Amino acid sequence: MDIGSAALIVVDMQNGFVNHHSRHAVHAVSDVVAQWSAAGRPVVFTRYFNYPDSPYERFFQWRRLREPPETDIVPELTEAVARAHAVVDKTGYTLFTPEATELIRQSGWTDLVFCGIATESCVLKSAADAFEHGYAPWIVTDASASDAGPDVHDAGLLVARRLVGVGQLVTGEHVMGRLAAYAGAPVLE
């Protein structure tokens, strides 16, 4: 992981995706964001917005995440969002909207470090798309979760190993170690 040319991508940490299955990720993501920001590295948040007659409505009959408070980033990350390098709004699974694709290209990032919700959908799709666009994707396994439960989170990680490589799945502790080495300072506790 090349921290010097990496961005942290915080995927869809929105009220509508946080439940008893995914709530634990809020603290883990907050910790990673705090460490990443303390090292002076860029943080990008994504926000998903559903819309009438979307594929999610047509194929899943899923009509959530259309408006606040469901679409709002969780309160624990509000300050981090205000200081973020960018916030990318999207209507599909992936980070790679035209705006985000241009942001990544212009910023010269080579590594994209993903955390957030949901492991098996938006995190996985964004990491796989990063891989296909030639970027080094990293998934922080313990700072990601599925609102559908731990079995679905594990299934997402299983597929991620096949799509982006076993070595691209890392823990928050690994990321903290890389950040500390980059900054030349001890890891914040």
pLDDT for 165 equals 97
Q: Which residues pair with 138 in a beta bridge?
A: 113
- Summarised one tens digit per residue, pLDDT across range 87-129 is 999 999 999 999 999 999 999 999 999 999 999 999 999 999 9
Residue type, 71: T
Task: Provide the 8-state DSSP code for 74.
Answer: P
Compute the half-sphere exposure of residue 9: CA atoms within 13 Å on the CB side of its CA. Answer: 34
pLDDT of residue 185: 52
pLDDT interval class at 183 (50, 70, 90): confident
For the stretch 128-156, pLDDT in tens is: 999 999 999 999 999 999 999 999 999 99
**pTM of the full structure:** 0.95
- Compute the distance between CA of residue 188 and CA of residue 9 in angstroms, rounded to an integer: 20
Report pLDDT digits (tens) over 21-67: 999 999 999 999 999 999 999 999 999 999 999 999 999 999 999 99
- Specify the residue for token string 């999610």: 56
13: Cβ contacts below 8 Å, ≥ 6 apart: 25, 26, 29, 45, 73, 74, 77, 116, 117
pLDDT of residue 188 exceeding 90, the answer is no
Tokens of 58: 């047509």
Does residue 88 sit in helix, strand or coil? Answer: strand
Whole-number pLDDT of residue 184: 74
Dihedral of CA atoms 19, 87, 59, 163 in degrees, nearest 10, equals -90
Query: Domain boundaries in the chain?
Result: 3-183
Strands 111-117 and 86-90: unpaired
Domain 3-183: homologous superfamily in CATH: Isochorismatase-like (3.40.50.850)
Helix 150-164 and helix 124-132: axis angle, to 10°?
10
The predicted structure's pLDDT at residue 31:
97
Q: Residue 187 pLDDT > 70, yes or no?
A: no
Amino acid identity at 28:
A
